[in-house]
């Protein structure tokens, strides 16, 4: 299976492209689309789903243009939009049955699959509750369940972990890892920790451009030797913040422990540490750091 | 027993073919969970009709009551019946419009366009049943005025709904839509028949009423087709 984009672009205004000339080749596995808010992730995902017409370029799935083969393509697509809405008067089970019908699923299969997903996503107890009675995290899990109903070949999840608590996030990661064997999973997020251990490759997106598509190991390798920890006194804080990109700072009994990014570290007190994806993210997006949700900040 | 290498190759190929066939069966079985679109649409129609049948059933009961027990068919009663019928149809359109499900629905094989067609058909069938029942009873009771009432009641229903469908995408809230619909319905009702005290209305003859009611039906169908087409287009090209 192969999903390809050929010079994919989307212009909402003449001056600025929301997505600019994106060329991707994606195969089975988890592909994490990482970028700050407004970087074009959702627009790209909508175009991959075929619900937004590209201004330029095409998307092909197994060498067929998805728009020419849309009826077939959509059968094998699982999609969870960002801030997905629900029919709040439905119960969980009614909603999933409804979506199963809309996905052209055979009744027996749908019944089995719904049971399986309710179990997997820990929704069994809530299955007879109305959707309006559920919390945000539970609704998000219902959204994930509906995207998996048709055992999709291509699963597109736009910020699936938003609203989930840490335990649910871990469960989601495990579920995605399991699915990735025979599914192309594209998941967008700005929560770095969600993808660090499960993504096969990372697609870093900024201002509509894909900056790179690399494996996690390669991505981290690139930053090796550029991440430091430095223990300083309280009064040095301003100088440090001025001279380096600060990933994290933590007050400890001896002073302040900084985690820094630098190409040219001169301070002898610093020690080189292993880079994480948070560091990579911040090395590209340090000017937008206040919008980043990491496990360090 | 000695086996020649050629035979072995033959066995190998046979085994391979068998394995491939088994794999293909497995694959077929694995993807056999999809039903044809026709079947899916039938399942969907069943599910939707089950959901709305209680309310439409209530409408039909009201209709039966009017036909069997009401001595006089007053224009006010018929108009009220159609006003409520139209309001429920509007509610159906908004129930699915106002819950951010649009994006998700666009990525499903059976989508908003199909649901709209289903609801249109149900609404038209219920309307047709009502219209024919009222007309037949009017004919049996030898009450020609009832036929006029039916035609008159049809005009505001279709004209108001036609206008609503033209502007449905611009009206975001159900509450606003309801108020607009009721105002339009009352306006058109009063325009063609004086339902408000001391109001002036067009007093149309039988033929003129028929022409206007046909015109309003055509307008409604055009508006519905246009709205359906918009939904259909949005499915492939995004909102």
pLDDT (tens digit, 9 = 90+) per residue, B84-125? Answer: 888 998 888 887 676 677 788 888 888 777 888 888 888 888
Report the residue of A104, A153, A158 to disrupt the B interface, i.e. the one with the largest count of B CBs within 10 Å.
A104
**pLDDT at position B235, please?**
58
B11 vs B220: which has the higher pLDDT: B220
Nearest CA in chain A to B29: A109
Mean pLDDT for B215-230 is 86
Nearest CA in chain A to B239: A52
Q: Tens digits of per-residue pLDDT, B169-187? A: 788 888 899 999 999 988 8
B35 vs B18: which has the higher pLDDT: B35
Query: Token pair 């007879």 is at which residue?
Result: A128
Query: Cβ–Cβ of A106/B107 closer than 8 Å?
Result: no
In angstroms, the separation between the Cα of residue A67 and the nearest Cα of chain B is 8
A248, HSE (Cβ side, Cα atoms, 13 Å): 19
Mean pLDDT for B44-59 is 87
Do you know the residue count of chain B? 239
pLDDT-derived band at B202 (thresholds 50, 70, 90) equals low
Query: Cβ–Cβ of A102/B111 closer than 8 Å?
Result: yes
Q: In what order do the strands lie in the sheet with A245-252?
A: A245-252, A255-261, A227-232, A271-272
Helix or strand holding residue A293 (H, E) = none
**pLDDT at position B208, please?**
76
Strands of chain A, DSSP E: 3-11, 17-26, 29-35, 56-61, 64-65, 77-80, 154-158, 184-189, 201-206, 209-215, 227-232, 245-252, 255-261, 271-272
Domain ranges of chain B: 20-237
The interface residues of chain B toward chain A in range 127-166, judged by CB-CB distance below 8 A, are none
**pLDDT at position B165, please?**
87
Query: Cβ–Cβ of B47/A107 closer than 8 Å?
Result: no
Question: Which residues of chain B make contact with A151, given a CB cutoff of 8 A?
Answer: 33
* Low pLDDT (below 50) residues in chain A: 290-297
- Indicate whether B25 pLDDT > 70: no
The pair of structure tokens assigned to A86 is 């629900």
Report chain B's mean pLDDT, rounded to a whole number: 78
A2-220 placed in CATH 3.40.50.300: yes
**pLDDT at position A293, please?**
45
ipTM exceeding the 0.90 mark: no
Query: Cβ–Cβ of B236/A67 closer than 8 Å?
Result: yes
Angle between helices B112-140 and B144-167 (to 10 degrees): 170
In chain A, what are the helix, strand and coil shares in percent, each to the nearest 5?
Answer: 35, 30, 35
Residue in A71, A107, A110 closest to B109 by CB = A71
Domain ranges of chain A: 2-220, 225-273
Q: Name the H helices within chain B.
A: 5-30, 37-69, 75-97, 102-106, 112-140, 144-167, 174-192, 206-237
The pair of structure tokens assigned to A242 is 């001025």
**pLDDT at position A296, please?**
43
Mean pLDDT for B60-73 is 76
């Amino acid at each position: 299976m192969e999903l390809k984009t050929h010079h994919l672009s989307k212009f909402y205004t003449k001056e600025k492209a929301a997505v600019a000339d994106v060329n991707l080749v994606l195969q089975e596995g988890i592909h994490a689309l990482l970028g700050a808010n407004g970087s074009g992730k959702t627009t790209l995902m909508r175009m991959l789903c075929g619900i937004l017409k590209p201004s330029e370029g095409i998307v092909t799935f197994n060498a067929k243009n998805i728009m020419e083969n849309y009826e077939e393509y959509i059968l094998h697509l699982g999609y969870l939009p960002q801030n997905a809405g629900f029919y709040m008067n439905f119960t969980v089970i009614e909603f999933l049955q409804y979506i199963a019908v809309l996905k052209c699923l055979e009744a027996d299969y749908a019944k089995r699959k719904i049971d399986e997903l309710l179990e997997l996503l820990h929704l069994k107890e809530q299955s007879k509750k109305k959707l309006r009675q559920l919390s945000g995290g539970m609704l998000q899990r219902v959204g994930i369940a509906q995207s998996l109903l048709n055992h999709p070949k291509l699963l597109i999840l736009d910020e699936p972990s938003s609203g989930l608590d840490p335990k649910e996030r871990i469960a989601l990661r495990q579920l995605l890892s399991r699915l990735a064997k025979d599914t192309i999973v594209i998941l967008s997020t700005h929560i770095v920790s969600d993808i660090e251990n499960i993504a096969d490759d990372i697609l870093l997106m900024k201002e509509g451009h894909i900056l790179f598509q690399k494996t996690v190991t390669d991505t981290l390798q690139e930053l090796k030797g550029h991440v430091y920890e430095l223990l300083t006194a309280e009064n040095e804080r301003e100088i440090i913040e001025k001279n380096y990109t600060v990933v994290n700072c933590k007050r400890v009994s001896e002073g302040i422990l900084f985690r820094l990014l630098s190409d040219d570290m001169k301070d002898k007190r610093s020690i080189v540490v292993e880079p994480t994806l948070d560091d990579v993210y911040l090395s590209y997006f340090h000017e937008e750091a206040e919008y980043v949700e990491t496990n360090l900040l | 027993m000695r086996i020649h290498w050629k035979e072995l190759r033959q066995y190998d190929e046979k085994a391979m073919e068998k394995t491939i066939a088994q794999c293909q069966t497995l694959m077929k079985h694995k993807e056999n969970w999809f039903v044809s679109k026709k079947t899916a649409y039938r399942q969907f129609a069943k599910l939707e009709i089950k959901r709305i049948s209680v309310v439409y059933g209530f409408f039909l009961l009201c209709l039966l009551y009017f036909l069997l027990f009401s001595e006089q068919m007053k224009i006010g009663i018929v108009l009220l019946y159609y006003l409520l019928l139209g309001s429920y149809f509007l509610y159906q359109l908004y129930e699915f419009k106002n819950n951010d499900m649009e994006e998700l629905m666009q990525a499903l094989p059976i989508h908003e366009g199909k649901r709209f067609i289903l609801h249109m058909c149900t609404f038209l069938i219920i309307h047709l049943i009502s219209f024919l029942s009222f007309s037949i009873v009017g004919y049996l009771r030898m009450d020609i005025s009832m036929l006029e009432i039916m035609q008159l009641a049809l005009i505001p229903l279709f004209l108001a709904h036609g206008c609503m469908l033209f502007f449905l995408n611009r009206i975001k809230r159900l509450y606003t839509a309801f108020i607009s619909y009721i105002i339009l319905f009352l306006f058109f009702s009063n325009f063609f028949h004086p339902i408000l005290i001391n109001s002036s209305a067009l007093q149309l003859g039988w033929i003129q009423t028929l022409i206007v009611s046909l015109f309003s039906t055509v307008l409604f169908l055009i508006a519905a087709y246009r709205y359906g087409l918009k939904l259909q287009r949005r499915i492939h090209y995004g909102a």
